[in-house]
């Protein structure tokens, strides 16, 4: 979060993108690290120090949300998303306001690169039904292109021979929108079996019957999990990619 991205800590890029969103009352950085809180405060923004015992980002923001007014809409933007588009966040907020039957709204983006994204376990993939409801999230490539694999001898060969197959894959964006009351209910649940296996908190919600709406958006983002991700983010900010 504090690595320099073109002369500014990464967390501040994410914070500033969130601050551009319409409808937002305030932006709060929830962290258990005093260094991050200090950097955020020095930049004139709000940070709240939370317990270091939280198991996921949603658990961490729930501690802050518990002190917010009832009926609040909570947007969880993961701090390592410095290029997330305000339009993406706005679309997710609008979606939860429009549907009282949805527990969580999140977003997905196209996957276009085999090596950089599809087989990268730091890039989470999502599959949905025809109504855009999440069926599963995974760090593995899914769904499996069986017909193409049979034609070309394997999934890698199929994707190289038929790049249009990439259209079946969607990348999950590091964004969740909840109603405050559902967030508090969700984070009171114990960690689930699949959540522990994949280390994906949204699987806890699915395993407990949550309805997760996944909006398809085209605005690209990068979750900065590796040094390579950070360098790619630098190139994009500089206009070189």
Domains of the chain: 4-237 (3.90.550.10)
User: How many C-beta neighbours within 10 Å does residue 216 have?
Assistant: 12
Residue 44 reports pLDDT greater than 70: yes
Residue 120 reports pLDDT greater than 90: no
Task: Name the average pLDDT for the chain.
Answer: 91
Question: How far is residue 217's CA from residue 126's CA, in Å, rounded to a whole number?
Answer: 13
pLDDT of the residue at 107: 94
The answer to whether the CB of 235 falls within 8 A of the CB of 82 is no
Residue 8 reports pLDDT greater than 80: yes
Joined together, the tokens standing for residue 105 give 């709204």
Average pLDDT of 214-226?
Answer: 86
Q: Give residue 115's pLDDT band: very low, low, confident or very high (50, 70, 90).
A: low
Whether cis (ω within 30° of 0) applies to the bond prior to 143 is: yes
């Amino acid at each position: 979060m504090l690595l320099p991205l073109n002369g500014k800590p990464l967390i501040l890029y994410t914070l500033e993108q969130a601050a551009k969103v319409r409808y937002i009352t305030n932006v709060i950085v929830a962290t258990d690290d005093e260094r991050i809180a200090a950097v955020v405060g020095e930049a004139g923004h709000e940070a709240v120090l939370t317990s270091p015992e939280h198991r996921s980002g949603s658990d961490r923001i729930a501690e802050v949300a518990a002190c917010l007014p009832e009926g609040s809409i909570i947007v969880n933007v993961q701090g390592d998303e410095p290029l997330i588009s305000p339009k993406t966040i706005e679309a997710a907020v609008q979606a939860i306001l429009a549907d009282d039957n949805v527990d969580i709204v999140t977003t997905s983006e196209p996957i276009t690169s085999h090596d950089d994204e599809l087989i990268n376990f730091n890039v989470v993939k999502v599959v949905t039904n025809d109504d855009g409801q999440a069926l599963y999230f995974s760090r593995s490539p899914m769904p499996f292109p069986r017909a193409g694999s049979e034609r070309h001898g394997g999934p890698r060969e199929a994707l190289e021979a038929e790049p249009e197959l990439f259209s079946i894959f969607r990348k999950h964006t590091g964004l969740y929108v909840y109603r405050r009351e559902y967030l508090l209910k969700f984070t009171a649940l114990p960690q689930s079996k699949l959540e522990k296996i994949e280390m994906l908190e949204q699987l806890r919600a699915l395993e407990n019957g949550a309805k997760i709406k996944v909006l398809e958006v085209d605005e690209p983002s990068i979750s900065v999990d590796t040094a390579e991700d950070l360098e790619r983010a630098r190139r994009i900010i500089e206009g070189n990619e």
